[in-house]
Amino acid sequence: MNERDSMTVGVSSAKGLISRLRSNTAGNTLMLVAGAIIPLTAMIGSGVDMGRAYLVKSRLQQACDAGVLAGRKYMSGTTFDSTADARARAFFSNNFPSGSFGTTNITFTPARTNDGQVTGTATARVPMAVMQIFGNTQIDLNVQCDARLEVANTDVMLVLDVTGSMADCPDDSNCGSGPGSKIVGLRAAVLSFYDTVSAATSANARFRVGFVPYSSAVNMGIDPLTDTNILQSGWLVDNWTYQSRVANMTLDGWTPTTTYGSWSNQTYGSNISNSNCTKYGNNTSFSGFNPNPSGNPTVPTNDVFQEGQPANVVQTFYERVTASYSGKKSCTRRYRTATTTYAQNGRFGFANWDYKPVAYNVGNYKAGNVVTAYTLNSAPSGTVTTEGSYNMVDLVNSAGSTVTGTSTSFEGCVEERDTVAQSTYTTIPSGAWDLDVNTIPSSDGTRWRPMWSELIYDRSSGGGYNNELNTNTNRSPTGSYWCPAPSSKLAVRTRTDVEDYVNSLVATGNTFHDLGMAWGVRLLSPNGLFASENTTAPNGRPISRHIIFMTDGMINTPPSMYSSHGYEESDRRVSGAAVTPSTSDLNSRHSARFQALCNQARANNITVWTIAFGTSNPSTLVTCADSGKAYVATNSAALTAQFQQIAANIAKLRLSR
């Protein structure tokens, strides 16, 4: 083979090799992988680390949320104090412990917002696992969180025990309603409750609050916050019968008329002194002269009131004639007879009292007008023009009466409407209108009656239950009567409104739980007396309704007092007894009524909360409250805390970021 041929073969071989290399791609994969290894590492590493960072941030956000929720829950009203701060930090730490996911520089800072809510900021530093090879050693995370305590449309009726024991301290020592007393603690607790719920009410929601202070009566007169009548006039009777008395003005009045005869003279010898001459002229005794009868009689001038005409009276009158002189001389006097006769004058005076049920027209009284009545614990000294028996209003106000009375006016407390006397109330019987919370009055049996304490008289001693007591004795009116501060209907209130109202509460009276609960439900129910005001809210959204019932004691309903169920010792409306009822039996019956009214609250979609203040939690309150909503407060600080807890439960705690 020559050189040219050799060269031709070599070129062909080279071309073949290049061609084969060009068509063979096995080697390219290795080169591509080698070239892509670095960017692939960066992509995978960033994905792993960013996914891890996202997980950590999610957990950090959850911990931040838990912290601010706890902080808001434990705030005192709108105050973010050290307790709330500590709770917030504890909840954050429990949800994001130190070193979680290898993080460092963990911080959590909760704070109060201008509108009384809680905001927070949490940070953490997350180490990079893969991206460290590219110089990215860590990433700083930062999250923010806000918690709000909000209420939707909410109506709250505060039924508050203002009986006499509320003037004491929680340990039952006598505080006289001063600092440390339960009534002062109640005022502070109610204000704190208002602050919490009010601050949690969003701008597009409505929060209304009302009040029912109760003791042995409930005042449903003029709402002090609106200066308007709570009850319509037609919901109260125009006539009512009270355990009272009438004055029997049956003694005839006789007016005296005196006629005189002519004068005749008499002379007392001689040697009479000037002073004895005066005595002789006045028919009074001195040495040597002792007339019988001595002295000049009195001419009758006052009317006499008695059955039958008084006897005629004939009297002799004397007067000195001799002028003054010196020395001893004789003395002359003159005398004449006077005859007094009596003629009937057409007026009549007091004979005696009849203590019994007495009918009164109460139309003027319930309207708020001053009504003059005879209220003195003594026999009336005036007279009337017509013989008969007079109640305590007519005695003063009848035409021609000269009996003087005392001004009385309606305080606003009402007697309950008709009832049925039973010991238990598994179901409410027909006719027990005092346990009916929704029926609008349409008859006297369904209407309330104004309490009129000045007319109430006890007759249990000697008078019995149904028997009248006729006596000349001026019996005292029943002394056990208390009318608490007026109630106030549901309304949107300012803090000043609430503060002024609770500061007006006075501790006095006995403990009738059923009266307070009855009116609490009536004022709150969307189905009864005030349905037009309570059924809907302006924004059209549902309304959450709550009664908070606070008392410091057990039911105490003695029969010898005037309460909203009348004078039980004589009326027997609750006991229905033929003998004087015992306090223990009445307490049991009022407890049964109380429970029936608690059930009525739930039947009207009302949540019932109870707080026993300064005492153990009695079964009457536990069974009255909805499940888990019966609280105990042994002192004023605990009372505020319990009101706060209820406020937090009524409000809805939510995250707003």
Q: Is the dihedral of CA 193, 199, 205, 210 positive or negative?
A: positive
* DSSP E strand boundaries for 461-555: 469-471, 488-491, 543-551
Highest mean pLDDT among 61-65, 407-411, 541-545, 556-560 belongs to: 407-411
Token pair in block for residue 142: 């930062």
Q: Are 526 and 545 in contact (CB under 8 A)?
A: yes
CA atoms of 104 and 102, how far apart (whole Å): 7
Mean pLDDT value across residues 371-396: 96
Residue 571 host element (H or E): helix 568-571
User: What is the model's pLDDT at position 12?
Assistant: 53
Q: What are phi and psi of 372, to 5 degrees?
A: -85, 130
- Whether 463 shows a pLDDT value over 70: the answer reads no
DSSP codes of every residue in 189-210 = HHHHHHHHHHHHB-TTS-EEEE
Tell me what the mean pLDDT of segment 323-334 comes to: 86
Q: What is the pLDDT of residues 120-131, one digit of tens each?
A: 999 999 998 655
- Contact between 254 and 342 (Cβ < 8 Å): yes
Amino acid at site 277? C
Residue 361: pLDDT band by 50, 70, 90 thresholds? very high
Average pLDDT over residues 433-449: 97
Given phi > 0 = left and psi -120 to 50 = alpha, else beta, which region is 101?
left
Question: With contact defined as beta carbons under 8 Å apart, do 391 and 242 qualify?
Answer: no
Neighbours of 136 (CB within 10 A): 14
Provide the CA 560 distance to its chain's centre, in angstroms: 23
Confidence of residue 28 (pLDDT cuts 50, 70, 90): low
Q: What is the pLDDT of residue 164?
A: 93
The pTM of the full predicted model, rounded to 2 decimals, is 0.76
Locate 211 and state its tokens: 């009040």
Q: What are the residues whose beta carbons fall under 8 Å from the beta carbon of 82, sequence distance 6 or more?
A: none
Collapsed DSSP state (helix, strand, coil) of residue 416: coil
Locus of tokens 């007591």:
469
User: Beta partners for 145?
Assistant: 120
Q: Is pLDDT above 50 for 10?
A: no
pLDDT of residue 42: 46
Domains and CATH numbers, the chain: 6-149 (no CATH), 153-234+485-655 (3.40.50.410), 253-346 (no CATH)
Is pLDDT of 378 > 50?
Answer: yes
Residue 37 confidence class, pLDDT cut points 50, 70, 90: low
Distances (CA, A) of 216 to 167, 261, 466, 509: 16, 69, 24, 6
List the single range of 7-16, 269-278, 442-451, 533-542 with lowest mean pLDDT: 7-16
| CA 155/CA 491 separation, integer angstroms | 8
The pair phi, psi for residue 219, each rounded to 5°, is: -95, 110
Q: For residue 33, is pLDDT > 70?
A: no
Alpha helices in 74-200 (DSSP H): 82-95, 182-200
Write down the pLDDT at residue 477: 73
pLDDT digits (tens, 9 = 90+) for 550-608: 999 889 999 989 999 999 988 999 999 878 889 999 999 999 999 999 999 999 999 99
